[in-house]
Structure formats: structure tokens, C-alpha cells
Structure 1
Amino acid sequence: MSSKTFDEDHIANKLSLFFDRYKSKIITFPKEKGWMTDELYMYQGFWFQSARMFSIMTVMAAQDDFKPHPSDIYLATQPKCGTTWLKSLVFAIVNRNRYQNENHPLLSTNPHKLVPNIETEVVEKIPTYAEGHSPRLFFTHLPCISLPPSILDFGCRIVYMCRDPKDVLVSLFHFANKLRGTSTGPMTVEEAFEKFTKGITPHGPYWEHVKGYRKASLENPSKILFLTYENMKSDTENNVKNLADFLGYPFTEEENSRGVMEEIVSLCSFEKLSAANKHGDLGRGLPNSAFFRQGNVGDSINYLTPEMIQILDDITNKEFHGLDISF
């Protein structure tokens, strides 16, 4: 799947057209102050940004315009749950016979250009879904309830990854402050914590997002694979093997003898991906380096007070009770 080049004028015009198409509905939605945009709008029980490529307009347009194929593979996360890593791993697994390591696209191209998002595909001049690749790889931040209906109707494979909400909060806090305008100034950790615990985050509430995919995976485990970032980090090789099996691209005995899986794990490591993305940008004023901060587990302890941590843990234990989700 080829990388995408973003045409800023075209995107701005398309977003404007989408706003005109949906504004009569949007103005009736509940709204709150945003993290990276002026406002967040609630739609289908979740909060979406008022502007940018990931916005309430592109969500509604994706539901109306995106054309899934039964052979598609979809990756889904909430923001800051290991999205970049998951895209890299799946791209490398599915395309491992197309590229040699020394000239692999992941060594020079941001993973977000290699695995396009269904919310941004609908603003493209030439969308990837018209190119005819099979299987097509796509990504989304959409909650399960908001997916274009055909994705679930067709029984497309979906890989979902979640992360400890404490680390999600801290990562989102840092990411949002990189993108906020100078007129609004940076958020404080206290402001971010208050909004997060109330569920007011882009594509949030966090807990409802996770529960939607978890319940779907329990109902249909052959089509929806549920992962946690922490387990992926602690046992990467076994998880990559299981991921390849689920995707329909299992490693052969010959590949195992050559260490192909280990090569993919190394290629998609935080160190290699961050080194490849030190320079350049994704477009729309978003530097490649913005997607690589630390990639660690448990960084939240450096930013949240013990009281904040306890509150988040209590909410998580209550919301995920009986769903076998552990961080």
C-alpha cells in the first residue's frame, strides 16, 4: 500500500464541504471544550473533535462514504494506545514478502502514511480504498458502535489494542500540548485529569471505547483480536506470532528458522521507528517526531499524584469488572 501525500487545500475544501453537509445535525450535539481543537462534540455516545482530519465531520462522512471490502483488515485503538507500533507490526507482517529489511518502507516512511485511516480516507483525492490492494489495511480511532456498518456485516478482521488508562492520559496530555494553538496555551495535568475522568477526551470516554471492542471480541473472537499494550511489550514475540496467525499470515517453519519474526520485532522497535521519524512531518503541521515520546509502560507515575492514580484505578476496576482486561 503506497504512502499518502496530503494536499492541504484539497483537505480544507473537503472538510468545509463535510461541515456544510452535516452542520444542521452537528449544532444540535452536546459539546465541551476540546483538548486540541476548540470544542468536542458528542455523537453516538462519544466525543469527537470540532476540526482537523479526525473530527465529527470525517466520522459522519466515513459512516456514509467509506466502502469496506470483506477481505479488509482493520486496526483500532483509542488515541495514544500504541497506534503507531500496531500499524508498523501489522504492515510488516502482511507485507513481509514484498520488502527487504534494508529498504523497508518503515525505515523511511511514517507508519501513519503506510496504513491509512478510514476517517481521513474520505477526504483524499484518490482514496486508498479505490486502489484495489488485497488485503487492504486500514486504521481507525472510531468506537465499535460508530464503525461503518459494512465492516462488521462483512466480518472483516479487526485488531484492537488498549492501554492502561493512566498512561493513556499522560501520553494524550503531552500530545495535545504539542498541537494546541498558542492562543489557548498548554493544558495542565490537573485539567487533563479532570476531563479524562469525566470521559471528555477525543474518541472517549476511554472506558466505553475499550468495553465496546472487548465485548465484540468475546462475542466473535475469530474476527476481533483484543490486545493490551502492556502484554505486547512484555511478551512481544509471542504476541506477534499470535497476531500473524490471526491475520492469516502465519510464520512458516522456514521463516522461523531464519528469524523472520525477530527481524520484524526489531524493525518495529521504538528505537528504530523513532530514529526513522526524527525529521519530516505527516502534513497538517504534525511532525513525525510527535508520535514518539517514550513508549514506556508506567510513565504515569512521574506525572500523576497517588490520589489521581487511585481514582483512575478505581474507575477502571469498576468499568472493566468481569471483562478479563488486565494491565
Structure 2
Amino acid sequence: MDEKDVPMNLREEEEENLSEETKTWISSLPWEIDYLGNKLFKYEGYWYYEDVLQSIPNIQSGFKPQETDIIVASFPKSGTTWLKALTFALVQRSKHPSDDDHHPMLSHNPHELVPYLEYLKSSKPDLTKFLSLSSSPRMFSTHMPLHAIQEPLKESPCKIVYVCRNVKDVLVSLWHFFNANKGVQWNDFSQTEKIIREEDYSFEAMFESFCNGVTVYGPSWDHALSYWRASLEDPKHVLFMMYEELKAEPRTQVKRLAEFLDCPFTKEEEDSGSVDKIVELCSLSKLSSLEINKSGALGGVDFKTYFRKGEVGGWKSYMTPDMENKIDMIIEEKLKGSGLKF
């Protein structure tokens, strides 16, 4: 089977066979073992774990976007949790003011409030149940490159917000995140038991794979470019945000995000400090201090591991000059002529 021959047109009565069909398709794809020791499959130029690939048929055939849907997109460890929190707080602020003692953000992790489309890998009843879980307007998230979710979005006016981060900081953040979750089976979230691993993953091995583009959802530069180009072609429906700009000017960027999501701040809200309150509610210090994010977990991942330092330029403490030069040259070549800069 060619790697593009995704089983999208299965008859509804054959739906129970979707999993087996999908597994057959996945087993036909090129694959490599990544730095975590898991099998990565290459599909349309990007690398995925089997667990993620299983969701693509359901996304492309079963996900029916509504006009008011919002999709938060990112490459892993690029500010995903932060953007989810900001998006939810902005859109829901008429129902849940940021100073509400019962605000959902105080008792739920942002990944619970804005679920991943990648979870859509089950049967139709479960798919329907999943799609009803999100709030109104519905908010979903994804780490997939744009082309993987583009089919159901072709005629949809729904909004996509993408956050991009300097790839060197992404790499360091990924390394810390995987080491903080050494027992998680990333290629199969159906596993209930964690594996035992004492030693840290090799930063050097991860760096080499990252530079070769062989990392889950990678190559990272192609991932960013897919959303960057879409934001230039259709700025009303795709917003491209830089993590570093969010860090440097959170008020300005939050207001920009609100405008894009068609829920701009009124003068009264600005005068009353509403922008600052949302920035504070969604800040790393606030979120990491909440009990739910200290003790909660989802899919075997402890919520506390989503909150580290969030620094800009933290990579300087981990990369040698040779590493810095190598990855800079790769990025310069890959982004040449695009107008995008990390």
C-alpha cells in the first residue's frame, strides 16, 4: 500500500474494522527507531507514533468542524499548555471571569479543557462522545502539521491558532519533558503500566535525530512552515504566534489573540484590568501552583511535568558551539525565502 493510501472511505458498516485496516496501512509505512527506543513511522514527510497515526482516518473522515470551532496547534513543547490556557480564558471570559473562584482553570489542566484531536482514534460512538466534551465554542488542539488536518477544514471558517518557538529551546524542553516522563509509553497510550527506566535519555542522541528531522511530528521546521504559509494565505482563519513575543509582550499578544478569536477586549474591560487578570491567571507561576497541576495526570503524564521554566534562550546551557552552529545552519537553509525566522 502506498503511504498516501489512507483508508478514508470505509463504509460505516465496516467501521469496526477500521483499527485493523489502519494498522495494516501503518505497518506498510517507512519507519525508524527514535531516541526513546520507540518506532516512528513516516507519513507524507512527517514522523508519527502508531498511536497518533491511528487518529488520522477519524480526523479526516469523522471530524466535522463547526463554524465557531477553535483549534490550538503547535509543535510539542512550544508553549502549547500556555496557549491552551490563554485561548480558553479569553473565549470563556463572559461565562467565567478570570477572578471567578470557580473558574474551570483552577480545577482542570488546560489539556483537559482543550483536548487533542489526536485522541480521535476510536469508533463512531466514542468519536461522537469525544466531540461533545469540549465547551461551546468547541476548542480542540493538535500537534499535527497542517496538512494532516486540512481535509475536514477545507470549507470550514473555524479558527486555527499556532504557536511557534525557537527550535533550540524546543529541543531542550523536549529533552527535559521526556526525562521527566521516562515511564510513559509514547507510542501506545493504551498501556496502563509504566516501564521502568532509571537513566536519562541522551541529549546528544536526541540532538542528532532532531537535526535529521526524525522526531515525533517532525521535522520541526516543516511543521512550522505549514502553518506559517497558511497564516500568510488566510490570515482571517490562521493566526501565527511566536512564543518569544508572548513572553516579551504578553498584554499585546493576548489582545491580538482576542481580536483574532472575535472576542476583543472592550474599553471597559481594559480599564478594569481584564487583560492583566487573564495574563496572570494563565501565567506559568499561577498554573504550576494549582493543586490540580501538582498532583493530577492524564494519559500517564503528570501535569506537573508540563510546567518547567519556560525560558527564552535556555538552550545556551546545553548546546556546545558546534551544536549551535549545526542547527543554526540547518534552520537557515530550511527557512530560506519563507520570511519566517526563529
| Residue 104 of structure 1: how far off its partner (Å) | 1.4
TM-score of the two chains, using structure 2 as the length reference: 0.85
Specify the code of the residue in structure 2 equivalent to 1:110: N
Query: In the TM superposition, what are the counterparts of 1:154-173 in structure 2 within 5 Å?
Result: 154-173=156-175
Partner residue, 1:141: 143
- Using the TM superposition, name which of 170-179 and 16-25 deviates more: 16-25
Q: Distance in 2 between matches of 1:119 and 1:30?
A: 21
Provide the rounded CA distance (Å) in 2 between the counterparts of 1:104 and 1:316.
41
Q: Secondary structure at the match of 1:255?
A: helix
Structure 1 290/230 Cα, relative in aligned 2: closer, same or farther at 3 Å?
same
Letter in 2 for 1:38: N
Corresponding residue for 1:293?
308
- Equivalents in 2 of 1:113, 1:316: separation in Å? 33
* Structure 1: unaligned runs, 5 residues or longer: 1-15
| Unaligned runs of at least 5 residues, structure 2 | 1-15, 183-194
Q: Which moved more, 1:19-28 or 1:289-298?
A: 19-28
Deviations 1:155-203 (A, max 9, x none): 3211111100001111111112233343595321100000000001111
* 1:315 to 2:312 alignment: no
Shift of 1:119: 1.3
Q: Does 1:267 align with 2:281?
A: yes
Task: Please state how far the C-alpha of 1:319 moved relative to its aligned partner.
Answer: 1.4
Query: Structure 2 CA distance, aligned partners of 1:134 and 1:36?
Result: 38
Selected match of 1:303 from 307, 318, 335? 318
Counterpart of 2:31?
A: 31
**1:213-260 residue CA offsets vs partner (Å, 9 max, x unmatched):** 111111111111101101111111101001000000000011011010
Q: Look up the match of 1:110.
A: 109
SS, match of residue 55 in structure 2: helix
The alignment yields a C-alpha RMSD, in angstroms, of 2.1
Residues 84-128 of structure 1: per-residue CA shift (max 9 Å, x gap): 000000000000111242221212211000011111144457634
SS of structure 2 residue aligned to 1:138: strand
The two structures have a TM-score, normalised by structure 1, of: 0.88
AA matched with 2:40? L
Matched letter for residue 251 of structure 1: F
Q: How does 1:224-235 map to 2 (within 5 A)?
A: 224-235=238-249
| Residue-pair matches, total | 309
- 216, 224, 232: which one aligns with 1:218: 232
In the aligned structure 2, how far is the partner of 1:111 from the partner of 1:309? 33
Per the alignment, do residues 282 and 126 of structure 1 end up closer, same or farther by CA in structure 2, a change over 3 Å counting? farther
- Indicate conservation of the 8 Å contact 1:118/1:138, yes or no: yes
Question: Could you say if the C-alpha distance between residues 75 and 103 of structure 1 is closer, same or farther in structure 2, counting changes exceeding 3 Å?
Answer: same
Say whether the 8 Å CA contact 1:73–1:138 is kept in structure 2: yes
Report if aligned partners of 1:84, 1:111 keep a CA contact under 8 Å in 2: yes
Distance 1:292 1:94, change over 3 A: same
> Aligned in 2, Cα 1:67/1:320: closer, same or farther, shift over 3 Å?
same
8 Å Cα contact 1:282-1:288 kept in structure 2: yes
